[in-house]
Amino acid sequence: VSLRVLHTSAPSSVAEAGAVVPTAADDDGRRGALRELYAPPSATWLRLNLIAAVSGDAAGEDGTSDTLSNDVDRAILAVVRELADGVVVGAASVRAEGYRVPRSSRLVVVTSSGDLSGHRMDPERAERVVVVCPASATDEVARTLGPGVASAATVLVVDDVEGRVAPDALLRRLREHGLLSLVCEGGPSLAGQFLRDGLVDELCLSTSPVVIGSGLPVFGRERFDPSRLTLSQLLMDDQSALYARWLVDARPATSR
């Protein structure tokens, strides 16, 4: 599968408009060109990385993002993960998609209920699992993680209002814990809360060449004010999928 640069605001050896980007991993399992294309501009950073159909849906016909994705999308996802200290996901995505622990970064799961059943976390990688939840959820977290993972995972208790943790308090807690560069992979409801509260620095959005009525909008159902975005990079593969990096402008869109 080939991947081409359509636009970049930071031309370099790998990133000139028209350049073909190698996506295969080398002997070290690294994808050097993609790492350069996706390097975050600052050590403290919050990215969202999701995939949507052209219709704005976060799920394909199987009810998960799996059927929207392809090998290039998965290669980019792996690189964006590698470049982050922590991969943040909502518990419903863990239950729906089974989530594994990434190869190098931490997996941060946010839950109100503590129910992480259906996870596929390898006990050998459990030291890189971080669960953020209210105090009321810790027993259920331990039960549903199972003893192999729960014994080595870190549980960060954050103050809650009726079981919900405030997104800015959640980020503060993770950064106190040394996780500065974060990528939130969703799901839509968690991603939407970070956008609503103006906490996101960048959106990495893959667009899958399909329209579908899944009933699951990619940034959730909450209403929030607009934020202005600037396109910093756009890639396209030979299956018509697009991969954008959008920077979130610091000023609120309504102040222009």
Ligand X SMILES: NC(=O)c1ccc[n+]([C@@H]2O[C@H](COP(=O)([O-])OP(=O)(O)OC[C@H]3O[C@@H](n4cnc5c(N)ncnc54)[C@H](OP(=O)(O)O)[C@@H]3O)[C@@H](O)[C@H]2O)c1
Residue 115 makes contact with ligand X by CB under 6 A: yes
**CA-CA-CA-CA torsion sign (101, 239, 41, 248):** negative
Residue 131 makes contact with ligand X by CB under 6 A: no
Rounded distance between C-alpha atoms, residue 62 and residue 99, angstroms: 16
Amino acid at residue number 179: L
Ramachandran category for residue 198: left, alpha or beta (phi over 0 → left; psi -120 to 50 → alpha): left
- By beta-carbon proximity to ligand X, the closer residue of 78 and 216 is 216
Residue (of 111, 107, 156) closest to 127 by Cα position: 107
Residue keyed to tokens 């934020």: 227
Q: Which range in 30-38, 78-86, 180-188, 240-248 contacts ligand X by CB under 6 A?
A: 180-188
- By beta-carbon proximity to ligand X, the closer residue of 19 and 48 is 48
How many residues make contact with ligand X (CB under 6 A)?
30
Residue 41 makes contact with ligand X by CB under 6 A: no
Residue 164 makes contact with ligand X by CB under 6 A: yes
Rounded distance between C-alpha atoms, residue 1 and residue 9, angstroms: 24
- By beta-carbon proximity to ligand X, the closer residue of 58 and 234 is 58
Token code pair at residue 54:
């052209």
Residue 60 makes contact with ligand X by CB under 6 A: no
Residue 48 makes contact with ligand X by CB under 6 A: no
> Least distance in Å: CB of 22 to ligand X?
24
Per-residue buried b or exposed e for 191-203, using 16+ beta carbons within 10 Å of the residue's own CB: bbbbbbeebbbbb
Q: What does the binding site for ligand X look like in residue numbers (CB under 6 A)?
A: 50-51, 58-59, 63-65, 90-93, 96-97, 110-113, 115, 164-165, 185-190, 193, 216, 218, 220
